[in-house]
Amino acid sequence: MDYEVIVLAAYPQDVLILLISIGSPRVALVNEPKEPAMKKATILFFSCLLCFGIVEFSFSKKREQQPLQSIAARPIDQWYTAQADTFLLQLLLLQKNYTTKARLPLFQKQFIKVRLAFKQMETLVSYFDIPVYLSLNSRVKPEVELYKGVFEYVQQPHGLQVIESFLEDDSIFMASRPQLKDELEMAIRTATFLKTHHFTIPYSDTGFLNAIKAETIRLAALGVTGFDKPVLDDAIPETDAALNGIQQLLGVYQNANPALAQLKKISFQVSFARQFIKTNYTGFNSFDRLTFIRKYLQPIFALADMLTKQQSDTNLQTPGFKSFFQKGYIDELYHRTKTYPAEMVALGKSLFESNTLSANGELSCTSCHKPSLAFADTVQRNTGLSLGDTVMRNTPGLFNAKYHLRFQWDGHALFMQDQFREVLSSHIEMGNISEPELLRRLKADADLKSQFQLVFGVPVEGITFQLTLNALEAFVHSLVDVSSAFDKYMTYKTTTISPSVKRGFNLFMGAGKCGTCHFMPLFNGVMPPYANKEDNEVIGVLKDDDFDNPVLDSDLGLFAITKQELHRNAFKVPGLRNLKKTAPYMHNGSLKNLDDLLIFYNVGGGGGWGFGLDVPNQSLEKEPLRLSEKERRDLKAFLLSLD
């Protein structure tokens, strides 16, 4: 695949760039020489962000092609500038606290004001000024990427989350003062740029409404979970600040463009959501996220989606989405709107079930991926082509596989067809059948031959390995399951849900911190609202389920490919649907049931306080969750409601 590389922003040691591909766009950082460090970085920072203003985001067509500029563009821009001014002022006051060596409680208090000012303008900055947003609010987690040994980058975290990570206690606060100074200066430079030189965006009515849609799914999937709050438990007040920003924007927009009278409906719904927070918020752990998302955030999203569609379809022939959990919206969210002809899917199914693909003619894909078990199996690691051989890892289920950005358990395969090639070429899995031999068999099979000719309209000689991969991909893309009891409740097809499931969801998205890695609505590792990023995590998976004598699994994960320490024992975050059928769990099948799975996480993973193994790069929090047995039962009830 060809990539276009665009520099977007610079830091003292790194340069932010954008990889644009036919598939999902990816934002990355590459190492930049340090000489001369700060001066060069500052020049690059501003010039590159201005460059971004010229090129906009090349993948903006993934969101929409901007129509004519709205008459509300100028007042919206003025509001944006005022918010950026407030944000900069709060940052400067925070820097003053640093300079005067304010104690940690006072510093935390001012930092909260900084975050609230940032959140109030999040709807616009996260949609229209994405590089600035990323530079101010990236995760506290360095990232390393290697693309087939050719493209490599190291992304060092910067921004408000990094600053917050220094505020955990007095000892960390004092020890981190040099880094804190650098991060404050960097954030102030970025905020100054945002205030004085931010790209004058041709705000369209459609773009404005899409920004609101994106913010509602961001708040539901990330905001209420505390995803970008590594230390302070004020994610819900920050959610209220973001809603306040939306409400102010709606007022500005309505005053400038009275023709969009239905904006008042969105504003009313935002008021209801904020009132729910005001009335019900008593703490991070106790907040009723399920009711908040279903009754308040989804209606905001639905109204914005309906108005967006009305901009191009006044008769509203295309129905709007009502829920984050509707299949149509999930396809749109994860950029998987492509459809395949039924005949092509049928051919892929025939190939998937055919022994023709294995070297010895005895195995098919269904030998491991069993349809009755959500295309997984029930064994820890399956038997390979030869008796006595076992595959390296547990068989993952295939429902909703198309929504991932990476494939294989370690996530090193960037495209689904790469995984097909690796399985077919594996001596243990399918026996490394040669392409000529495979094609000879396909052409000799009367049924498969006729299907190929029907689907692709080619003569027998035109049947190729690539067409085989295309058909297999079409079949796997058809394996979608978002029709669980929980989905039906969230899409308003049912009106009740068990109290245990409700408590479990609230634990999952709150105190259990599960939702900060398993993002709704699919509960996999692909991050809304743009679904262009899928992280690996290190959780310290054990060799087996002997909790009394824990031993770290020897599988090195993505490290075996990249040789980067951050990827040692790193694996892709799997989806959590159909868990009843897909046990055992983890990449090595080491945990046989959900009870053990929940205990593992409850004690902080392999490197946590419970097991105490040496996992220095563990990304899962090592401090135990301390969930009670009843709370774990509720979590289990929620997870099973996704079947």
Half-sphere exposure (Cβ direction) of 284: Cα atoms closer than 13 Å: 18
DSSP code string of 375-442: TB-SSSS-B-SSTT-B-SSPPPP-TTGGG-SSBSTT--B-SHHHHHHHHHH-TTTT----HHHHHHHH
- Tokens 């600040």 belong to residue: 241
Choose among 367, 359, 355: nearest CA to 445.
355
Are 556 and 565 in contact, with CB atoms under 8 Å apart?
A: no
Asked if 458 and 470 count as a contact pair (C-beta separation under 8 A), the reply is: no
465-477 and 416-425 helices, crossing angle to 10° = 120
Q: How confident is the model at residue 69 (pLDDT cuts 50, 70, 90)?
A: low
How far apart CA 71 and CA 46 sit, in angstroms, is 29
- Residues 433-454, buried b or exposed e (16+ Cβ, 10 A)? beeeebbebbeebeebeebbee
Percentages of the chain per state (helix, strand, coil), in multiples of 5:
50, 10, 40
**CB atoms inside a 10 Å sphere around CB 61:** 9
Q: What is the pLDDT of residues 479-491, one digit of tens each?
A: 999 999 999 999 9
Q: Are 474 and 344 in contact (CB under 8 A)?
A: yes
pLDDT given at position 444: 96
- Ordered by where they begin, the domains of the chain are 342-477 (1.10.760.10), 497-640 (1.10.760.10)
CA distance 246 to 274: 11
In percent, how much of the chain has pLDDT > 90? Answer: 74
Q: Has residue 5 got a pLDDT over 80?
A: no
User: CB within 8 A of 214, min separation 6: which ones?
Assistant: 63, 123, 126, 127, 529, 530
Of 266, 275, 328, the C-alpha closest to 298 is 266
Q: What is the pLDDT of residue 383?
A: 85
**Taking a C-beta distance cutoff of 8 angstroms, is the pair 352, 365 a contact?**
yes
State percent of the chain over pLDDT 70: 85
Peptide bond before 624: cis, by omega within 30 degrees of 0? Answer: no
List residues bridging with 7 in a β-sheet: 17
Q: What is the pLDDT of residue 16?
A: 38
Task: Read off the pLDDT band of 71 (50, 70, 90).
Answer: confident
Q: 537 near 570, Cβ under 8 Å?
A: yes
Average pLDDT of span 343-357? 97
Q: Mean pLDDT check: name the lowest of 60-74, 101-115, 344-358.
A: 60-74
Half-sphere exposure of 61 (CA within 13 A, CB side): 6
Per the confidence metrics, is the pTM higher than 0.95? no
H/E run at residue 341? none
Mean pLDDT in residue range 214-219? 98
In DSSP terms, 16 is beta-bridged to 9, 29
Q: Which residues contact 32 (CB under 8 A, 6 or more apart)?
A: 10, 11, 13, 14, 15, 40, 41, 44
Q: Within 10 A of 185 (CB to CB), how many other CB atoms are there?
A: 16
Distance (Å, rounded) from C-alpha 407 to C-alpha 401?
Answer: 8
User: Residue 39 above 50 pLDDT?
Assistant: no
pLDDT for 520: 98
pLDDT category at 543 given cuts 50, 70, 90 is very high
Please give the pLDDT value at position 63. 39
* Residue 146 confidence class, pLDDT cut points 50, 70, 90: low
| Separation between Cα atoms, residue 541 and residue 93, nearest integer Å | 44
Q: How sure is the predictor about 64, in pLDDT bands with cuts at 50, 70 and 90? A: very low
Return the pLDDT at 151: 46
- Answer whether residue 196 shows pLDDT above 60: yes
pLDDT, tens only, 585-625: 999 999 999 999 999 999 999 999 899 999 999 999 999 99
Rank 15-24, 200-209, 428-437 by mean pLDDT and report only the highest: 428-437
Give me the mean pLDDT over the 575-588 stretch.
97
Cβ atoms of 267 and 209 closer than 8 Å: no
Distance (Å, whole) CA 594 – CA 601 = 11
- Residue 261: predicted pLDDT: 74
pLDDT value, residue 147: 60
- Per residue in 389-431, pLDDT (tens digit) is 889 999 999 999 999 999 999 999 989 999 999 999 998 999 9
Confidence at residue 155, expressed as pLDDT on a 0 to 100 scale: 78
pLDDT of 386: 66
Q: State pLDDT tens for residues 298-342.
A: 999 999 999 988 876 655 566 789 999 999 999 999 999 999 999
**How many angstroms separate the CA atoms of 198 and 32, rounded?**
24
Looking at the chain, how many residues does it have? 643
Where is pLDDT greater, at 53 or 417?
A: 417
Please tell me what DSSP assigns to residue 292.
I
Is residue 4 helix, strand or coil? Answer: strand
Three-state DSSP state, 20? strand
* Average pLDDT over every residue of 192-199: 77
